Amino acid sequence: MSKLLQYLRTDTFRKNLIGALVAFALLFLGIYFGLKWYTKHGVSIEVPQVKGLHIDDAVKTLEKADLEYSVDYVYQMDAQPGLVIEQDPDPKSQVKTGRTIYLTIITETPPEVAFPDIIDKTWIEASAILRNQSIKVADTVYIADIARDVVLDVKFSGQPLKAGQLIPKGSQITIVLGNGQGADDIEVPNLIGLSLSEARFALSGIGLSLGNIIYSEMVTDSLAATVVSQQPDTTAGYISLGSSVNVTLSN
């Protein structure tokens, strides 16, 4: 113990101790100022407003502010492609230079969706399914079929579209629906005001025939008489091909 106490009183120990303390202080100051420089302690900039800008303008603004950026893409119908719709951090936030600003922009290319199976579904059911898939109906075409307002076929760009086929989200399609009438049904024509010969000609031209002919008591000239009523009338809508239409004539 006495030798240790004697050593602690020597100049050699004092020099070594002072050297160690100086080295420790220099190391501490180096680490402190090094971290301060590395993290830019106390130096910050305000995040510029880039939401609402086109991505090209947003990138120029961020680069001018010495900020990095990362881009994520989403698709929105009827929105301007390339438009920045979100940014993080928010505008006017205080960040250090070189900070990454996360941007969300509208992509120009819509994602593809699998076309749903809507064949044999009613128009109301089909339209709801298509709306959920963000698919638009550009036109509806009715053809003769006893299934009224039921989807019989679907076309995309003039070609048949099958369930499961991939099409761009937001695409416009054409729906083929049944009109509730059979293929052999004919719309009842309006014969009121026609002469007998005109009525007969009109019916034969569409595949119908003239049925019973009734003259009212007021007919004085059969050649000049015109149709004043018919059965079935136009409110019946459609009748089968080859059916007869009864008429009543009067002067």
Count of helix runs (H) and strand runs (E) in the chain? 5, 16
pLDDT digits (tens, 9 = 90+) for 108-150: 788 889 999 999 999 999 999 999 988 999 999 988 787 889 9
Q: Which two tokens stand for residue 132?
A: 């959920």
Contact call for residues 122 and 69 (beta carbons, < 8 A): no
| 186-250, CATH topology level | Trypsin Inhibitor V; Chain A (3.30.10)
Please answer whether residues 218 and 249 qualify as being in contact, where contact means their C-beta atoms are separated by less than 8 angstroms.
no
Residue 31's pLDDT band (cuts 50, 70, 90): confident
Express each pLDDT in 66-103 by its tens digit: 999 999 988 887 788 899 999 999 998 888 888 999 99
**What local confidence, expressed as pLDDT, does residue 128 receive?**
94
Pair 100, 69: CB distance under 8 Å? yes
pLDDT (average), residues 23-44: 67
- The strand ranges marked E within the chain are 45-46, 68-74, 84-88, 94-95, 100-106, 112-114, 136-143, 151-156, 159-160, 166-168, 172-178, 185-187, 209-215, 226-231, 238-240, 244-250
What is residue 9's predicted lDDT score, i.e. its pLDDT? 63
Sheet holding 84-88, edge to edge: 68-74, 100-106, 84-88
CATH of 45-106, one of 3.40.50.2000, 3.40.50.1820, 3.50.50.60, 3.30.10.20: 3.30.10.20
- Residue 80: what pLDDT? 85
43: its two tokens: 């130096």
- Output the pTM of the full model: 0.46
Topology agreement, domain 45-106 and domain 186-250: yes
Alpha helices of 86-232 — where are they, by DSSP H? 123-132, 196-204
- Residue 153: pLDDT above 90? yes
Judge whether 18 and 68 are in contact, CB under 8 Å.
Answer: no
Rounded to an integer, what distance in angstroms lies between the CA atom of residue 195 and that of residue 37?
A: 105
Is 186's pLDDT higher than 60? yes
Phi, psi for residue 166 in degrees, rounded to 5 = -85, 130
- Whole-number pLDDT of residue 35: 62
What is the pLDDT at residue 4? 59
Q: Helix, strand, or coil here: 160?
A: strand
Domain ranges of the chain: 2-39, 45-106, 112-178, 186-250
Q: Which residue has the higher pLDDT, 25 or 190?
A: 190
Write down the CATH number for the domain with range 112-178: 3.30.10.20
Instruction: Indicate the residue type of 22.
Output: V
- On average, the pLDDT of the chain sits at 85
